[in-house]
Structure 1
Amino acid sequence: MRSASFKFSTLLALVSCLAVAACVTINVYFPAAAAEKAADKIIDDIWGGSGQPPANDNDKRGAVAPDRAKDVLLAAAHSVLNLLVPAAQAAQADLNVSTPAIRQLTQSMEARHAQLKKYYDSGAIGLTRDGLVEVRDQNLVPLPERNSVRKLVADENADRANLYREIANANGHPEWEMDIRTTFAERWASKAAPGWYFQDQNGAWKKK
């Protein structure tokens, strides 16, 4: 009788630990592939590019229980983990980037891009490593246009910062804001047109 009670208590403790582990996975796991897919879609909308096929990430983190089929406790624990973890992963398969605030920011950036493009093309402005835009060489901007360019860049950066924050908040994870910003920074640079400038990880300017 004592043995059965011990096994039951052990099962409850093990299942509790697995449930906690699954919850931790839900809270801390940043879906990098989904973020890249979302970033590519938004960048294509803003820049009007044909886009590139989204990265195909087969992120399979299903837990594998040791091969002890005859051990009732481990088999039960494995079943619980299989129910919890895939459900958490499925909930994070895609990021929500369709809120009214995100759509408004995207449309604002799309309209502004028509004005910014010639400055990307000339090398006057470039893409920074932190997902923003910077005046790289003001000498490439005609003097009468410099104030206008500075305002365009400031407005663009305000929209970008708000976009990263809105995406994190829309998906219930404000703590993802920096990860989303980093993902966008990489995708802006990757999708930049030939001749445009971007910063590498050390902050040095590179020409695409």
Structure 2
Amino acid sequence: MRKFVYALLTTAMVALVGCVTINVYFPEAAAQKAADRFIGTVIDQGTAPAQNAKPAPPPQNQEPVQPSAMLLDLMVPAAYAADTPDIRVQTPATEAIRGRMQARFKSTLKALLDTGAIGFTRDGLVAVHDAGKIPLSQRAQATAAVADENSDRNALYREIARANGHPEWESQIRATFAKGWIERAHGGWYYQDASGAWKRK
């Protein structure tokens, strides 16, 4: 009789799990925090924050786990039960990109932003806003710096999506970073609004 009950319970759980649709939503708040930290280390030239591992809480006295509960835990992925998603930003690839972006910002981009020659675009890149503010002798260098920056930014958004196991999140990560670059812009810097029009902070 006990075997029959377990078999019936197992069949019911398999049917229930088969009906569950697992949706993995983009964790916007976590992404915004991660983007803000990354952008701050580039614009403010800080260092990358160490990812602190939270120690596991000490085990509490728990009720014995029923076999049916253990079976359900095995069948339903942990991602479904996670209620505080996080975004992974630090990988060897993103750290290399961060280093290049910090060096480029310090050597070239900050001066171009300060003069209003370039600005942040609505799609998370940089673009020339007023070429007339770049001396003719420096235009080739400025154009190359903008192209290199945009190449790194595109690679960054793609790598963060890939590192989190969701390549389809790339456009959402790009939008999150675009908002973050504009929010962290210094007074006097240019940026594009949602319609693509240039504004000054």
TM tier relative to shorter chain: 0.7 to 0.9
Give per-residue Cα distances to partners, 1:3-43, cap 9 Å, x unaligned: x9xx967665334312xx2xx31xx4111111111100110
Count of residues in correspondence between the two structures = 169
* TM-fit CA distance, 1:91: 7.7
1:113 equivalent in alignment to 2:109: no
1:63-142 aligned within 5 A: 87-88=79-80, 90=82, 93-114=85-106, 115-142=108-135
Q: Give the drift of 1:92.
A: 6.1
Cα shift at 1:174 = 0.8
Kindly indicate whether structure 1 or structure 2 has the higher relative contact order, using CA contacts under 8 Å at least 6 residues apart: 2
Distance 1:187 1:141, change over 3 A: same
Report the CA distance shift for 1:96/1:35 in structure 2 as closer, same or farther (over 3 A). Answer: same
RMSD: 2.6
Shift of 1:123: 0.7
SS in 1 for 2:191: strand
**Cα distance, 1:158–1:11 mapped onto 2, change above 3 Å:** closer
Aligned residue in 2 for 1:13? 15
**1: CA distance, partners of 2:163 / 2:81:** 17
Unaligned runs of 5+ in 1: 51-75
Structure 2 residue runs of 5 or longer lacking an equivalent are 47-67
Partner of 1:62: none
Match of 2:193 among 196, 200, 207: 200
With normalisation by structure 2, the TM-score equals 0.75
| Partner AA of 1:205 in structure 2 | W
Structure 1 counterpart of 2:25, which letter?
Y
Q: How far off its partner does 1:87 sit?
A: 4.7
Residue aligned with 1:129, SS = coil
Question: Which of the pair is proportionally richer in helix?
Answer: 1
Identity %: 49
Q: TM-score, normalised by structure 1?
A: 0.73
Aligned partners of 1:85 and 1:172: how far apart in 2?
14
Corresponding residue of 1:191: 184
